[in-house]
Amino acid sequence: MADLHVPINHAEGGIAAQIAAQLREAIRRGRLTPGTRLPASRDLATDLAVSRGVVVEAYEQLVAEGFLISRVGSGTRVAPAAARPPAPPAPAGSEGPGPYYGHRPTSPDLGHFPRERWLASVRHVLTTAPSDALDYGDPGGVPELREELAGYLRRVRAADVAPENLVIVGGVAQGLSLVLHVLTQRTRTGRTRTGRAGARRTGTGRAGTGQIGRGGRLPLAIEDPTSHRQVPLLRRAGARLLPVPVDDQGLDVAALRDQPAEAVLVTPAHQYPTGVVLSPERRAALMEWAHTAGATVLEDDYDAEFRFDRDPVGCLQGLAPDRVILSGSVSKALAPGLRLGWVVAPAELAEAVRRARGELDLGSPVVEQYALAHFLRTGGYDKHLRRMRREYHRRRDSLVGALAEHLPEVRVHGIEAGLHIYLRLPDGWDEGRVSELAQEQGLAAEPVAPMRFTKGGPAVVVGFARLPAHRAVEAVRGLKVRMSGQSID
C-alpha cells in the first residue's frame, strides 16, 4: 500500500474532483505505476482531513475512467492499462549513455564478489556500531577505515601514508576530480605547487603572473594513449591536457620535460591501455622532474594488486610522498558499485581535499566504510585478492594461449597483470571492425584509436576477467572465423 502525496485546496471546494485530478496526473506521469495499491478510502480520508465519502467518490470516478480497478479483498489498485506510454525514440544523432556505464575491458568478474564474507562484515557493523556512527561523519572518511587502509597500503603498496593523509572518496574518478579542483583553486589564488605564496613557472619556464594555462586551466600532462573515459572528467575538473607519449618503458619523461605541465597523471604499475610498467629508470627520472619543476604527480593505482609474473612494484608515492598524490579504489578488487576509493596526499593537500569532499556531498556512506574496515581487518580482502589473482592469471593465460594458436599475427603487448590485454594488430587492419567482431563473440573489446591523441598503429584492448578459461578457445576461434569471412582491412 502506497502513501500518497495529494495536495488539495480546501478553500476551493470540489475536493473529490481535486483528489481525482491529482491521482490521474500521478498515474499518467508514472509516479503511480500499474499494480500499485492505493490506501483504503478511510485511511486516505484521514490523511487528507476530508470525509470518507469524498475519497470514495474520487476513487469511483477513476475506476469508471479505467485508471483504477477495485476488487473486494484486494483493495483499489492502479489498472494495468494505465501504464505510462513509452518514451518517443531519441532523435537521430542523439547520444545515449555512451561508454561510461557498464561492462568494459577493466571490469572484474562480479560473480566472484565475496557476498558471504561481505555480508558478515555488514552484519558485524550493524550489530556492533553505536547509533552515533550512522550520523553525518567526517567527510574524509571514518577513522577505522582510514587506519586500516593506511596499514594495508604501507604493507602491500609500500606507500608512505598515515591515516591523516588519507581521504575516503567515491572511487578514483571522484578522487581525481577533487584533487584537480584543489590544485586549480590553490594555483588561481596565487599559491605555488608547494603551497607557498610566490612566483610560478609558466610555459616559458619564467616567473608567471599567477594565471595557469589558457583560460585559467591547470596544465596537466597525461599519458598517450590513455583512458578515453577519463578525458571528459579531467577537462571538467579544470585541466588543460598535454599528451605525453608512452613507449615500452612507460611515460616518456624526456618528452614530459618539453611540456609546460604543472602536474602529470600516470598509471605506473600497469599503464592503461598498453599494459606496460614504468621502468626503474623512468620512475627515477619522473621523480627528479617533479622535484626540479615543483610539480605534482597524480598516481592512478587502478589494478596494481593483480600482477601475475612477480610481486607488484611499489607505488611512486612511497618514493616521494611530498610530490605524489596516490589514488586507488576497490573497483577492480571487489566491485565498482561499492564506490569506495581513497586519495593519499601530503598533509596540507589532504586536508584541502577533505574540505572539498565535505562541500561536495558530505562524504561516503558510512556503513560500507565500516564494512570495508572490518573486511580488511579480518583478512577477507587479502584472501579474496589471492583467490582472484590465481583465477585471473588462469583466464589471461587461456586467452593469450588461444590467440597464439589461432591468431598468431596478433601480438600481445605489456606485462602479465591487470584485467585486460593490449593487442597489436597487423598494419592495415581495421581495429574498429575487429572490436565489433570480438564483441559478437562475447569478448569485452574496444579499439585504441579513441584513446590516442596522436596516430598510432591499429590495436584493441580486450578484457579477460569475465571470460571463463574454458571459453577462451571457443571465443577466439569464433573471432577468427568471423574475421576470415569479412574484410578487416
Say which CATH number the domain at 275 has: 3.40.640.10
pLDDT at position 187: 66
pLDDT in tens, 101-160: 558 899 999 999 999 999 999 999 999 999 999 999 899 999 999 999 999 999 999 999
- Going by pLDDT thresholds of 50, 70 and 90, the confidence category of residue 353 is very high
**Does residue 486 contact residue 432 with C-beta atoms inside 8 Å?**
no
Question: Looking at residue 48, which CATH number applies to its domain?
Answer: 1.10.10.10
Q: Is residue 343 in some structural domain?
A: yes
Question: CB neighbours of 440 closer than 8 A, spacing ≥ 6?
Answer: 478, 482
Q: Which three cell numbers stand for residue 107?
A: 571490469
Q: Is residue 101 in some structural domain?
A: no
HEC letters along 270-328:
CCCCCCCCCCHHHHHHHHHHHHHHCCEEEEECCCCCCECCCCCCCCHHHCCCCCEEEEE
Same domain, 147 and 190: yes
- Going by pLDDT thresholds of 50, 70 and 90, the confidence category of residue 486 is confident
Same domain, 370 and 389: no
pLDDT at position 4: 79
pLDDT at position 3: 73
Q: Is residue 489 in some structural domain?
A: no
Burial class from Cβ neighbours inside 10 Å (0-12, 13-18, 19+) for residue 179 reads buried
Q: Which of 65, 82, 99 is the last residue of a domain?
A: 82
Q: Which domain holds residue 43?
A: 15-82
The three-state secondary structure class of 149 is helix
Domain count for the chain? 3
Same domain, 161 and 303: yes
Q: What's the one-letter identity of residue 209?
A: T
Question: CB neighbours of 151 closer than 8 A, spacing ≥ 6?
Answer: none
Same domain, 41 and 56: yes
Same domain, 278 and 397: no
Same domain, 35 and 53: yes
Query: Could you give phi then psi for residue 344, rounded to 5 degrees?
Result: -115, 120
Q: How far apart, in whole angstroms, are the C-alpha atoms of residue 486 and residue 432?
A: 13
pLDDT at position 193: 46
Q: Is the pTM of this model over 0.75?
A: yes
Same domain, 254 and 367: yes
- Going by pLDDT thresholds of 50, 70 and 90, the confidence category of residue 74 is confident
Share of the chain above pLDDT 70, in %: 89
Same domain, 470 and 397: yes
| Mean pLDDT across 261-288 | 97
Q: Is residue 91 in some structural domain?
A: no
Given a cut of 60, whether residue 396 has pLDDT beyond it is yes
Question: Looking at residue 413, which CATH number applies to its domain?
Answer: 3.90.1150.10
Given a cut of 70, whether residue 98 has pLDDT beyond it is no
Q: Is residue 1 in some structural domain?
A: no
pLDDT in tens, 193-219: 444 333 344 333 333 323 344 557 899
- Going by pLDDT thresholds of 50, 70 and 90, the confidence category of residue 89 is low
Given a cut of 80, whether residue 294 has pLDDT beyond it is yes
**Does residue 314 contact residue 343 with C-beta atoms inside 8 Å?**
no
Q: Is residue 417 in some structural domain?
A: yes
The kind and range of the H/E element at 169 are strand 166-169
pLDDT at position 389: 96
Lowest-pLDDT choice from 3-12, 119-128, 277-286, 350-359: 3-12
83 vs 238, which has greater pLDDT?
A: 238
Same domain, 391 and 364: no
Q: Is residue 70 in some structural domain?
A: yes
Same domain, 334 and 476: no
Given a cut of 60, whether residue 70 has pLDDT beyond it is yes
Same domain, 150 and 76: no
pLDDT at position 93: 46
Lowest-pLDDT choice from 61-70, 188-197, 312-321: 188-197
Q: Which of 382, 411, 436 is the last residue of a domain?
A: 382
Same domain, 265 and 305: yes
Q: Is residue 104 in some structural domain?
A: no
Helices within 41-139 (DSSP H only): 41-48, 52-65, 115-128
Mean pLDDT of the residues in the chain: 89
pLDDT at position 83: 61
